Structures are given as C-alpha cells and as structure tokens.
Structure 1
Amino acid sequence: MYNVIRDLHSYWAFLVLAVLIMATVNSIIKFVGKKEYGPKDFRLALFTIIVSHIQLLVGIILYVVSPRMALFSELGMGGIMKDSISRLYLIEHPIINIIALVFITMGYSKHKAKLSSNAKFKTISIFYSIGLVLLLSRIPWSMWLGL
C-alpha cells in the first residue's frame, strides 16, 4: 500500500506543478497585458487548487503510512533534526508544502472577492508564485527525479 500511495504522490506532483506553473504564468502574462479575466482563467485557478488539495490529501495519507514515521520513536525529534534526509521528509517537506498550499488557497479565495480583472490576476500572480516557490524549494529532487 505504501508504494502505491508514494507513487501516486510522486506522479500527481508532476500534474500539480504543471497546472500551478500554467496558472501562475497565465496570471502574470494577463496582469502585465491588462487582459480581461474570463471563465478559462477561473477554471484554471480552480483546477489548480483542486489538484493541489488532492495532492495534500494523498501526502497526508503517505505521511501516516510511511515507514519513516518509526524514526520519531527510534531517533526522537533531535535525531531527526540532525539527519538532513529524515528532516526533509518528516519535517521540512510536509510543513513547507502545507504553507505553500495555504498561500495558493488564500490567493484563490482572495481573487474571487476582487472586482477588476487586473486585481484578480495580480492576486493570483502573487499568491500562486509564493506557493510555487515554496513547493519547488522542498521537493526531494534527488529521489523524485531518480538522480
């Protein structure tokens, strides 16, 4: 079960990144170009938040069933913090990615309250960009890409 959930979490991350990058770039280009906010923009922002939240749910399940959880009782928090790999998987990756998802969710929620297209694109651009940078900073690249 663990391997299936881990693989789903890894492959779904490609979709999350692709959609988040598309939504972020779309909003930046349309903000700079002073374009009108349309139904396609709304659907892209909505799809981004949906796939991101699905990734969060899969990640939480993965975290709970992970054999790495035993390290909390074996090493304690001090031991985990001393080991960079354990710290990445058990502390940094989950916390930073949850914070990234909070930014993405805030951006989506705040953009709906804006009245002008420019304000909508600006809000999405800022919050989705912050979320994207945070996500990219805590991806375990060596494990994810098989390096």
Structure 2
Amino acid sequence: MYLTLLTLHSFMRWVVLAGLLLGLFRAYRGWLGGHTFSPLDNTTRHTAATLAHVQLLLGFGLYAVSPVVGTFHLRDAEHTPGTLFFGLLHALLMVTAIVVLTVGSALAKRRTDDLARFRTMALWFTAALLLMLLAVPWPFSPLASRPYFRF
C-alpha cells in the first residue's frame, strides 16, 4: 500500500505541475494579450484544480501510512530534518497551496469580465505554484532530498 501510494504521489506531482503550468500559460496569455476567456480556458482552470485535489488526497493517504511520518514527534524533529519536513512542513505548505489554488479557481470562475478572470487565475495560480515549489522534496533540497521519480 505504502509503495503504491508513494509511486502514484511521485508521478502525480509532474501531472499537477504540467496542469498548473498550462493553466498559468493560458492565464498570462489571456491577461496580457487581451483574449476572451474561452471554454478551453475554463476547462484548464478546472482541470488544474482537480488534479491538485487528487494529488492532495493521495498525499493524505500517504501521510496516513508513511513510516517516516509515523515516527514523527515535533520535540525530536530538530535532530532529523527529513522527518520535520514530511511530518509538518510539506503537509502544511501543500495544503496551503491547494487552498490558494482552489480559492483562485473559484474567484476566477465567478468573475464576469474576461480580463479579470485571467488576472485572478494568473495571480492565484502563481502564488500556489510558488508554495508548491517550496514544498516539493527536490533532489537538491537540504531539508529532504528525494529523486525526481520514485519507483
């Protein structure tokens, strides 16, 4: 169960990143280019948020069965930075990023002006992307180094 969730969660991060980057591309293109908000833009907005929610659910499942998180105690976290990262920082930052992404998606959906839709989507999705990039355990991260792909 653990390895299956870990592999799915690792793979889905790239799918979420691709969906978010596509959403950002369309948002900035529409905002700066003065385009109309098309059904494809709306689908991209919705799909990016949905992919992030699926990733969050996989992360919650992984959090529940992870042996790294199972041994997490805040009082001991200063001695094992990887445990602190996965036990607290990763989860907190990713939940915050998904909330920011969801709020931005909902606000963009409710805007009536096309330019306001694109601007809202661009700004909120950018904030979510920055939070996600901070919270990913990149191979070069000093807090928790993990490979790009887990199998």
TM range (shorter): over 0.9
TM-score, structure 2 normalization = 0.91
Unaligned runs of 5+ in 2: 140-145
| 1:30 Cα deviation after fit | 1.1
Contact 2:74 2:84 in 1 (8 A): no
Q: Please, what TM-score do these two structures have when normalized by structure 1? A: 0.93
SS of residue in 2 equivalent to 1:145: coil
Matching residue of 1:99: 96
2:69–2:83 contact (8 Å) kept in structure 1:
no
Aligned equivalent of 2:114: 117
Q: Quick one: distance in 2 between partners of 1:145 and 1:69? A: 20
Q: Which runs of 5+ in 1 are unaligned?
A: none
Aligned match of 1:77: 74
Paired positions, count: 143
Moved over 3 A (4+): none
Name the CA distance, whole Å, in 2 between partners of 1:133 and 1:122.
Answer: 17
Name the structure with the higher helix share: 1
Could you tell me whether the CA contact under 8 Å between 1:5 and 1:58 is conserved in 2?
yes
Letter in 2 for 1:3: L
Instruction: Name the structure 2 match of 1:7.
Output: 7
The corresponding residue for 1:145 is 148
Secondary structure of 1:141's partner?
coil
Task: Tell me the alpha carbon deviations over residues 118-145 of structure 1, each in whole angstroms, 9 at most, x when there is no partner.
Answer: 0000000010000001001110011132
Task: Provide the aligned C-alpha RMSD in A.
Answer: 1.1
